[in-house]
């Protein structure tokens, strides 16, 4: 017997009634994550970290920032004299921004002296926590939005760590004859009040079908039966355009869950990549307690790179996080733990073992090590190679 459909919170039931009873999945996901009063990020409800709803690489400790810093410093240095911007989109708890600012100040003080940390965070609930943590930042911090930056575009680097996976996705379903946009519908009545249901909606329009054809999904072929469902990423193109308008010159580094189109849209991946997270638990049901769970979908590498080219970015390359961190000195850091603990860190055995475990988790090929680092650049500057060998601190 299948589980009953999940109940619908009052605020969402009202919204859905006002929209005629159903909305495309993308709109539902945007509400559930970013509504300022009820959204999981918008209301600042989600917590990132070991004691929170989910863990990201920076939440495992300071090593991630320490390994990333030389790459960002090299990119900042390539700009030549003048003011510089280190822009972080979607800083979450703010820990990565703080650790990067501290690393720049410690190892590249001349660069730090002319760098401002810009935080692009649309969700007020998250920005409030970032402000508190970043009071300790040695670099000046400014919260902003892409539109404000576009009025006076900056030179520097943009970092987007686990941000694009939080943009609302479109879900589409093959019904055996047509591709349809998936809807979230309010089902009234029943003894426990209104409930939510996913159902196929309007057929996709020709422009969306042309995109599917480019991904090898139209026609879908016999291996994708009726009910086969996946996601499209209409939010990342406008995001890349807005980011491009804000940056006069410099690289953008996107770090996220991502798959090549042939893996993303493989016939056996019959329900896409969408997952819900709360309290370190994952669920494939995106309708559970909307506004209380994180909802996240992988990026499609081919789609993102194509959207980036259209938005005026040069594609520098991409690799797995495991490869990136090894190229940036993770193995040396592990080796160093056996001998001299990093200055100011972990002298006891237990602490060193904990640091070792965190480093290994960052490159575990089954989890964080499989994340992708995707680099882009724009504007007139000689961008140093993506993935520098370990850079000695000056
Ligand atoms: C999964 S969290 C990642 C946080 C942090 N970067 C980390 O890795 O720990 C997503 C973050 O992106 C923010 N966010 C969501 N949509 C965004 C958008 N369109 N632009 C910038 N940030 C966004 C969220 O509010 C949240 O701070």
For residue range 13-48, list pLDDT tens digits in order. Answer: 999 999 999 999 999 999 999 999 999 999 999 999
CB 362 within 8 A of CB 368: yes
Task: Say if ligand 1 is within 6 A of residue 158 CB.
Answer: no
The string of DSSP codes covering 173-231 is EE-SS-EEEEEEEEE--STT--EEEEEEEEEPPHHHHHHHHHTT-SS--TTS-TT-EEE
pLDDT tens per residue, range 208-235 = 999 999 999 999 999 999 999 999 999 9
Pick the closest to residue 212 from 183, 170, 271 (CA basis): 170
pLDDT tens per residue, range 340-358 = 655 555 567 788 888 899 9
Is the confidence at residue 394, as pLDDT, over 50? Answer: no
Pick the closest to residue 358 from 47, 160, 52, 65 (CA basis): 65
- Burial of 303 (C-beta count, 10 Å sphere; 0-12/13-18/19+): buried
Cα separation, 320 vs 363, in Å, equals 9
Q: Which residues pair with 84 in a beta bridge?
A: 115
- Determine which of 177-181, 300-304, 329-333 has the lowest per-residue pLDDT on average: 329-333
Task: Say if ligand 1 is within 6 A of residue 312 CB.
Answer: no
Q: What's the CA dihedral at 353, 354, 359, 360 to 10 degrees?
A: 70
**Ligand 1, atom 23, residue with closest C-alpha:** 90
Is the confidence at residue 268, as pLDDT, over 80? Answer: yes
Cα separation, 170 vs 215, in Å, equals 15
Which residues of the chain are in CATH 3.40.50.12710 domains? 57-167+235-257+315-378
- 120: part of which helix (H) or strand (E)? strand 115-120
Task: Say if ligand 1 is within 6 A of residue 53 CB.
Answer: no
- DSSP 8-state symbol, 54: B
Mutate to test the pocket of ligand 1, among 163, 164, 236, 245 (most ligand atoms within 8 A of CB): 163
CB 287 within 8 A of CB 5: yes
CATH 1.10.357.10 for domain 57-167+235-257+315-378, yes or no, is no
Ligand 1 center–CA 71 separation, angstroms = 21
Task: Say if ligand 1 is within 6 A of residue 90 CB.
Answer: yes
**Ligand 1, atom 17, residue with closest C-alpha:** 90
């Amino acid at each position: 017997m299948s589980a009953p459909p999940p109940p619908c919170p009052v605020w969402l039931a009202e919204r859905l009634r006002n929209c005629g009873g159903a909305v495309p999945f993308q709109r539902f996901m945007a509400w559930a994550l970013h509504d300022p009063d009820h959204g999981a990020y918008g209301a600042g409800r989600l917590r990132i970290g070991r004691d929170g709803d989910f863990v990201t690489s920076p939440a495992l400790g300071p090593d991630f920032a320490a390994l990333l810093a030389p790459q960002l410093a090299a990119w900042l240095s390539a700009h030549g004299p003048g003011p510089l911007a280190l822009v972080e989109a979607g800083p979450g708890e703010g820990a990565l921004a703080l650790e990067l600012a501290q690393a720049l100040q410690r190892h590249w003080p001349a660069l730090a002296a002319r760098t401002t940390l810009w935080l692009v965070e649309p969700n007020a609930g998250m920005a409030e926590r970032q402000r508190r943590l970043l009071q300790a930042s040695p670099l000046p911090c400014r919260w902003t939005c892409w539109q404000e930056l576009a009025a006076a575009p900056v030179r520097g680097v943009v970092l987007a760590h686990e941000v694009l996976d939080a943009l609302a996705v479109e879900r589409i379903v093959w019904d055996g004859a047509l591709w349809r946009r998936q809807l979230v519908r309010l089902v009234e009545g029943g003894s426990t009040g209104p409930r939510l249901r996913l159902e196929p909606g309007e057929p996709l329009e020709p422009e969306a079908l042309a995109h599917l054809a480019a991904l090898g999904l139209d026609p879908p072929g016999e291996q994708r039966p009726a009910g086969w469902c996946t996601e499209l990423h209409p939010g990342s193109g406008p995001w890349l355009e807005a980011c491009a308008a804000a940056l006069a010159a410099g690289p953008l580094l996107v770090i996220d869950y991502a798959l090549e189109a042939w893996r993303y849209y493989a016939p056996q991946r019959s329900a896409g990549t969408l997952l819900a997270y709360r309290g370190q638990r994952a669920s494939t049901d995106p309708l559970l307690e909307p506004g209380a769970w994180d909802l996240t979908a992988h990026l499609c590498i081919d789609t993102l790179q194509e959207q980036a080219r259209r938005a005026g970015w040069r594609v520098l390359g991409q690799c797995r996080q495991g490869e990136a961190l090894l190229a940036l000195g993770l193995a040396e850091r592990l080796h160093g733990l056996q001998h001299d603990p990093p200055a100011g860190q972990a002298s006891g055995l237990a602490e060193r073992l904990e640091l070792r475990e965190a480093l290994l988790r960052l490159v575990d090929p089954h989890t964080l090590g499989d994340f992708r680092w995707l680099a882009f650049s724009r504007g007139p500057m000689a961008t140093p190679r993506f993935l520098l060998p370990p850079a000695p601190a000056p």
